[in-house]
């Protein structure tokens, strides 16, 4: 099973637009075709971002789905504790937490809708891709 780390923007996009590629990725995680890799810090960001005032309508529309998704993340994700700090991203140092998770979990992919702040193409053994690139690379696994 492929191990993935997903940026918060992919999670938010999955709820903002259904159907969409981010929604498809989240669905594959829920169906246990992908293994989501998480840290406490990333989970806290997911929850915190969706609690922002600007996402109130999203919570009103998808509140139960969000709760169920987060509950499944807590039960089924590969939880890791980063071993060593990564200081690769200078523009937004808080995003280094995603690379730390990818490194510690040995994730196959880091998926982000905004890859320009991340190392180009790869970080160690983790491929850094957009949702579109991820689906193009992995579609044969899901659509046989």
Q: Which pTM was predicted? A: 0.93
Q: What is the DSSP string of 74-89?
A: HHHSEE---SS-----
Is the distance from CB of 5 to CB of 107 less than 8 angstroms? yes
Is the distance from CB of 45 to CB of 12 less than 8 angstroms? no
Q: What are phi and psi of 79, to 5 degrees?
A: -90, 130
Does the pLDDT at position 7 exceed 90? yes
Domains and CATH numbers, the chain: 2-142 (3.40.50)
Give mean pLDDT, residues 40-68: 89
Average pLDDT along the chain: 92
Q: Please give the pLDDT value at position 43.
A: 98
Does the pLDDT at position 106 exceed 70? yes
Q: At what angle do helices 96-105 and 40-50 cross, to 10 degrees?
A: 140
């Amino acid at each position: 099973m492929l191990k993935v780390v997903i940026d918060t923007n992919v999670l938010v996009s999955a709820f903002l637009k259904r159907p969409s590629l981010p929604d498809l990725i989240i669905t594959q995680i829920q169906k246990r075709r992908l293994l989501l890799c998480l840290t406490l810090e990333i989970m806290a960001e997911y929850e915190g971002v969706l609690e922002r005032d600007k996402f109130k309508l999203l919570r009103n529309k998808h509140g139960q789905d969000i709760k169920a998704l987060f509950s499944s993340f807590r039960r089924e994700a590969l939880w890791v504790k980063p071993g060593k700090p990564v200081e690769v991203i200078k523009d937004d140092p808080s995003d280094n937490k995603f690379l730390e998770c990818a490194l510690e979990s040995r994730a196959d992919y880091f998926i982000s809708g905004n890859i320009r702040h991340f190392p180009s193409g790869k970080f160690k053994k983790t491929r850094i891709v957009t949702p579109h690139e991820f689906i193009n690379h992995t579609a044969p696994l899901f659509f046989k």
